[in-house]
Structure 1
């Protein structure tokens, strides 16, 4: 019983350390992004809905997306910057950032790189999505 209590305290300390490291990282990244950029375009994600997917839930909650978005918003207000939210259903990773062709074959999340059948540009899924989110956000503003 006493050893169990010691182990419980040890585990609690490890979890507290991990939480502090995560919060420190989120604070530093959000401050850096807001101080270096006048306008930040983000996708308006339904994080609560995404956490219901048991395959993604642990990864989403462990990186604290909601907390990061909240930090970005209040720090942008402090710095006088603008946060633009792009609609959730915008097909940012499926649309070619060069020619605008929407590729329906890229819906599967396992497809990390793809080539546009129209202009033959090779895209990394995440980089392409970030370019499209920026362009959409700036066009909405």
Structure 2
């Protein structure tokens, strides 16, 4: 996953990203009411993002505003399209 993925600040229940979360805050409550242990929440979010990336390919993480290109880091080429009667 991306180095700057907000794993600690992302609510694993509703998907809300908390604006700020100082390192000394070890437990926090989301607006949805879910209470998170910072490290456990981060581990779950990293696992989910990693599984999504392995299943769907690179580029499944939320887009950062500072992204320069908005493109996946892996070059993707379209496969050729074959139209017509299949060869028997």
The residue that corresponds to 1:83 in the other structure is: none
TM superposition shift of 1:104: 1.1
The residue that corresponds to 1:114 in the other structure is: 28
TM superposition shift of 1:87: 1.5
Question: How far apart in 2 are the matches of 1:94 and 1:131?
Answer: 12
Higher share of residues assigned strand: 1
**TM-score, normalised relative to structure 2:** 0.59
- SS of the residue 1:110 aligns to: coil
Question: How far apart in 2 are the matches of 1:128 and 1:104?
Answer: 16
Higher share of residues assigned helix: 1
TM superposition shift of 1:111: 0.7
**TM-score, normalised relative to structure 1:** 0.37
TM superposition shift of 1:105: 2.6
Q: Which runs of 5+ in 1 are unaligned?
A: 1-85
- SS of the residue 2:40 aligns to: helix
The residue that corresponds to 2:5 in the other structure is: 90
The residue that corresponds to 1:64 in the other structure is: none
- SS of the residue 2:36 aligns to: strand
Question: How far apart in 2 are the matches of 1:121 and 1:88?
Answer: 25
Question: How far apart in 2 are the matches of 1:126 and 1:88?
Answer: 16
Question: How far apart in 2 are the matches of 1:93 and 1:105?
Answer: 10
| Corresponding pairs, count | 54
- SS of the residue 2:20 aligns to: helix
CA RMSD of aligned residues (A): 0.7
Dislocated runs of 4+, deviation >6 Å? none
